[in-house]
Amino acid sequence: MNYIQASVKIATNFVYISETHAKRKLDGIETEIKTLIVKIKEQSDLYEAYKVIVRSILSM
C-alpha cells in the first residue's frame, strides 16, 4: 500500500512540475510575441517590419 501511495505522489509531483514548466514556457512565448508586435508597430514601412519579424524568428 505504501508503494502505491508513493507512486501516486511521485506521479502527481511530476505532473505539477510539467505543468509549471509548460506555463513558464508559454508565458515566455507570450511576452516575446507582445514584444514583437510592439516592434512591428514602431516601424515606418513594411520592409522594416518584415526585417524585425525575420530577425526575431532567426534569434529563436
Q: Judge if pTM exceeds 0.85.
A: no
The C-alpha R_g of the chain, in whole angstroms, comes to 20
* Domain coverage including residue 47: 2-58
What's the rounded Cα separation, in Å, for the pair 60 and 46? 22
The neighbour count for residue 53, using CB atoms within 10 Å, is: 13
Of the listed ranges 8-12, 19-23, 30-34, the one predicted with least confidence = 8-12
pLDDT of residue 2: 58
What's the rounded Cα separation, in Å, for the pair 1 and 57? 51
Average pLDDT of 9-16? Answer: 79
Q: How confident is the model at residue 44 (pLDDT cuts 50, 70, 90)?
A: confident
pLDDT tens profile 14-31: 888 889 899 999 999 999
Q: How many domains does the chain have?
A: 1
Classified as helix, coil or strand, 2 is helix
